Chain A
Amino acid sequence: MRRQSRTAPPLDLAFSALSDPTRRAILARLAKGEATVLQLAAPFEMSQPAISRHVKVLAKAGFITQRVEGATRPCRLARHGLEEIDNWIAMLRKALEANYSRLDVVLAAMQSAEEKPSRKGKSKR
């Protein structure tokens, strides 16, 4: 999709939004489907304005979007923020996995070299 003038939220914002347990719980709830702030507040011992503030942080970081429906503003997950982190983590994982499977081979070679009654020094085998 062509990107709009709306810029991608910096990852710093996304990570700091995720650092709070209440906000992670809100995301977990929204993963099951759309919910109003009132519905989101129900499981928490928190005021609705407090939940609204969390919602605002999550929206700013690109994790959720809100639409207007009559008097309510249901929230739902925006895939964008999550994908951004997922992709970065995926890249790191891929690079590390490639490195570590090479390291497995190096370690196996080191061990079999040790098991051999090898002569010390730099003489050729």
Chain B
Amino acid sequence: MSKMSLEMEGDTHVVVKRYFAAPPEAVFRAHTDPALIQKWLLGPEGWTMPVCISEPRPKGKIRYEWSNGKGQGFYLTGEYLELEPFSRIVHVERMYLPDPTPDNHIETRFLPEGEGTLMTMRMTLPDAQTRKQMLASGMESGMDASFVRLEEMLAPDILPSR
């Protein structure tokens, strides 16, 4: 059912494609309407988004705050740059972990395909440091042991022994 593709584009970008059984207008709205975003943009199981600000217009603000209900959380801020209803969104975002990560520039396209929509999201590949921080935050939320191992690989300096 979930036919998602995720590919590297050169050494700086990741391109994600996913088909949705709904028209572009609905998929676009689900990406910009805060009440709808709060229902799905949640990451790992058990997390919620108590705060969601999304002002879908050029220079409009974005702020998502996630919580695991156990006192852990992180947030993201961003700005919309371009919006072409209901076919294209360009925005930047950064996560606070707690220091802000470098801006991630994201272009999302929604193209009609058959009865539904093909979404293509092209995002900047975060640098090694950002990934380290992202993985660390994922680890706190209880991700796999393999990610704990990855964290160790990426951050040898925080290991107790050398």
Chain A: residues with Cβ within 8 Å of the partner, total of 34
Given the known interface contacts A3-B152, A5-B162, A19-B11, the answer about A96 and B16 at a Cβ–Cβ threshold of 8 Å is yes
State whether A91 touches B128 (Cβ < 8 A). Answer: no
Given the known interface contacts A15-B125, A91-B138, the answer about A107 and B4 at a Cβ–Cβ threshold of 8 Å is no
Min C-beta distance of B130 to chain A, whole Å = 10
Given the known interface contacts A92-B6, A107-B27, the answer about A16 and B11 at a Cβ–Cβ threshold of 8 Å is yes
Chain B: interface residue count, which band? 35 or more
State whether B11 touches A99 (Cβ < 8 A). Answer: no
- Is A7 among interface residues, defined by CB-CB distance under 8 A? yes
State whether A101 touches B20 (Cβ < 8 A). Answer: no
Residues 1-37 (chain A) with a chain B CB within 8 angstroms: 3, 5, 7-8, 10-12, 15-16, 18-19
Residues of A within 8 A of B (CB): 3, 5, 7-8, 10-12, 15-16, 18-19, 84, 87-89, 91-93, 95-108, 110-111
Residues of B within 8 A of A (CB): 1-2, 4, 6, 8, 10-12, 14, 16, 18, 20-22, 26-27, 29-30, 36, 39-45, 125, 127-128, 131, 135, 138, 143, 146-147, 150, 152-154, 156, 159, 162
